[in-house]
Amino acid sequence: MLKRMFAAVVIVVAALAISSQGHAEKRVALVVGNDAYQNVPILRKAVTDANAVASGLRQIGFTVAVAENQSRQALSGALLAFDAAVQEGDTAFFFFAGHGFEIRGQNYLLPIDVPEATEGQEELVRDASFAVDRIIDRVQARGARTVILVLDACRNNPFTRPGTRAVGGAGGLAPITPPEGVFVLFSAGAKQTALDALSSNDPDPNSVFTRRFVREIATPGLTLVQIAKRTQMEVKGISNSVRHEQTPAYYDEIVGDFVLNGKAGDAGPGLQLAVVPPSPQTLAPRPAPPEPSPAAPINAPIAQFMRHNGGWSVSLSFVDPVTAIAWRLGETGAFKGTGFLDTFDQRTRRRLANPNFQLDADTAATTIYVRAIDPGGRTVGPFPITFDPKAELVRGERRILEMTAGSWVSFREYNGLLLYYTQVMSYRCAVREIRLGIDSAVPNQPVAMPPCDLANPNAIPDKAVPYLKLPPATKMVSVELTYRDGSVSEIKTYRR
């Protein structure tokens, strides 16, 4: 079972004063996903979750800007552009997936270049991060009629390091006391952690909360309270099935019903707010909302990149079946079909669309756009997928090391007893340091390795020595890897 290191999703909806005159407002959104943290543990599903939410918002009429792996300076610029896009009467939606941190009851969003911090350095974190309350204030100040803030940013303390005292703060975001006209939803209860997946074999590309939440926001006619209650029930049920406590909590301080996807009377194009004014008279019961129809599948793919001697292999995975796949690099140019495999897809009874394609070894960082044809003949997408060669190389090599932990080292006898660590050296781009313990369960001896060569990452340089000479009586060796993001592997023990 994979526990999500951070995960409270907060939805804040501020319904500002409604004038008596109609207003054809815009629906604008800024969606942020941060995975590639430099000084605290990297994340694996923040960008994927952000893109799933962005796709869902586009389908219900939002104009969406997506910002991935944002430094403080980059996120400041993105927020400034978002401010400029919001006008009087608009509906504004802000989504953040990444590390969040609570200090003395205040919640902060962490950019990817947030510095390391230890005990007593809370101000360092505050100065480098973005206060949630401030983001709410600045969007409200633009005069938005409705503001929706979604924070997937509640994990365990990202500043925890072995042998040091972590900066003061608790796991999980602090509860929010929303101002008047605000609706708040957490993906997990206050101080709870949320699941990335139900097990190590869970094929879903999104977190347990997001996979449910995006389907609910796609369902026409649901109010925010209905979205919250349905998501709460589903997430609680499936998390309990793997003996994990995760109960989304919500706080409703708006007057009336806010419908995210659907019409609300004659309020005008795009307006999704039906207000029931207070009255001393007895009000007639409102008709029940229509039974929601099943949510349309989002079906945004996820991509897995693998570096090899000839370049990059890209493997796509879709939740729902597709009958054809095409892709392109960058914003312009023609889409290239991936072709078909010589096997049938049992779900569609057609030849299986090839989910794989290749990139050259020198392909620069870019956005890959993927589109597909569903079984009904409709085109879905294009879906943007960020390709960062350096980050994907580190991620892919770490994945290989984790899958081959039984082969990190091996004993050989040749003019004495030798310990080879060729496997780790071959995938050294994911590793900051390897430490060994000779006849000890505590790895305390660092081993030097050559630097990562991005042009030929798996080759071992001619002058490198991928082995260590051991005392002949050695019985066992313990090994611990420190990865590029600073996280540490489990200690593995190898016996002769």
Report how far residue 154's alpha carbon sits from residue 175's, in angstroms, rounded to the nearest whole number.
11
Give the E-state strand segments of 193-331 in sequence order.
Answer: 195-197, 250-252, 257-258, 273-274, 302-308, 311-317, 324-329
Report how far residue 210's alpha carbon sits from residue 233's, in angstroms, rounded to the nearest whole number.
14
Question: Would you kindly state where each structural domain of the chain is located, as residue ranges?
Answer: 2-274, 302-387, 392-495
The pLDDT, as a whole number, for residue 83 is 92
| DSSP one-letter code for 216 | H
Q: Tens digit of pLDDT for each residue in 159-169?
A: 665 443 334 55
The pLDDT, as a whole number, for residue 286 is 36
The pLDDT, as a whole number, for residue 255 is 65
Q: Residue 182: which of 10, 315, 37, 353 has the closest Cα?
A: 10
Q: Within 13 Å of residue 206, how many CA atoms lie on the same side as its CB?
A: 26
Report how far residue 416's alpha carbon sits from residue 229's, in angstroms, rounded to the nearest whole number.
67
Residues 6 or more apart in contact with residue 466 via CB below 8 angstroms: 420, 421, 422, 425, 460
Report how far residue 316's alpha carbon sits from residue 48's, in angstroms, rounded to the nearest whole number.
13
The pLDDT, as a whole number, for residue 171 is 56
Token readout for 247 is: 């109960």
The pLDDT, as a whole number, for residue 31 is 92
Class (C level, CATH) for 2-274: alpha beta
Token readout for 3 is: 């526990």
Report the first-to-last Cα separation within the chain, whole angstroms.
32
Contact 173, 107 (CB under 8 A): yes
How far is residue 491 from each of residues 39, 85, 341, 470, 494, measured CA to CA in Å? 22, 50, 41, 19, 10
Q: Work out the angle at residue 172's Cα, subtended by the Cα atoms of residues 166 and 177, and round it to the nearest 5 degrees.
A: 125
Show the low-confidence residues of the chain (pLDDT under 70).
Answer: 1-24, 119-120, 154-157, 159-172, 179-181, 253-255, 263-298
Give the relative orientation of helices 132-141 and 72-85 as an angle to the nearest 10 degrees: 30
Coil, strand or helix at 124? helix
Q: Tens digit of pLDDT for each residue in 115-128?
A: 887 766 788 888 88
Token readout for 394 is: 């580190």
Q: Is there a shared CATH topology between the 302-387 domain and the 392-495 domain? A: yes
Q: How buried is residue 451: exposed, middle or buried, by Cβ count under 10 Å (0-12/13-18/19+)?
A: exposed
Coil, strand or helix at 93? strand
The pLDDT, as a whole number, for residue 492 is 87
Q: Tens digit of pLDDT for each residue in 308-367?
A: 777 888 999 888 888 899 999 988 888 999 888 888 888 888 888 899 999 998 899 999
Q: Work out the angle at residue 344's Cα, subtended by the Cα atoms of residues 341 and 346, and round it to the nearest 5 degrees.
A: 140
Domain 392-495 sits in CATH at: 2.60.40
Largest CA distance in the chain: 97
Which CATH number is correct for 302-387, 3.10.620, 3.40.50, 2.40.10, 2.60.40?
2.60.40
Coil, strand or helix at 409? coil
Scan for tokens 């602090």, then name that residue.
Answer: 174
Q: Tens digit of pLDDT for each residue in 407-418?
A: 898 998 888 899
What values do phi and psi take at 135, rounded to 5? -65, -40
Contact 477, 493 (CB under 8 A): yes
